[in-house]
Amino acid sequence: MQLTNEAITLPENYSVPIEAAAFRDGLLVESRAILIVEDAHTQDYAASMGREIQKHLKEVEEARVSLTAPLLSAQRRLMELKQAHCEPLEAEKW
């Protein structure tokens, strides 16, 4: 049984772009280089790295949400389609 006339296709694999992985790795290298906070300068640098990491984490989450929003919307529409299709049968069954 086919529920829709349209085929739904998604990629089999997902991967992070090379540039994004390189940026993440750069953040890690810089952050891991801070071993001891000895003075105001290193404290400012450590705080700055923390902000940069938090900013990147937020951007990644925003990207994930923007990618999954259409999928969640499609899932809801498919559920509505299924319910509308099956509703008369469910009522008849009882």
pLDDT in tens, the chain (94 residues): 888 999 889 999 999 999 999 999 999 999 999 999 999 999 999 999 999 999 999 999 999 999 999 999 999 999 999 999 999 999 998 8
- The residues, any chain, with a CB within 8 Å of residue 3's CB and separated by 6 or more, are 78, 81, 82, 85
Parent domain of 31: 18-93
Report yes or no on 5 lying in a domain. Answer: no
Domain-embedded: residue 83: yes
Within a domain: 6: no
Specify the pLDDT at position 85.
96
CA distance 55 to 43: 18
- Whole-structure pTM value: 0.80
- Domain membership of residue 12 (yes or no) is no
Domain contains 1: no
Domain count for the chain: 1
Tell me if 27 is assigned to some domain: yes
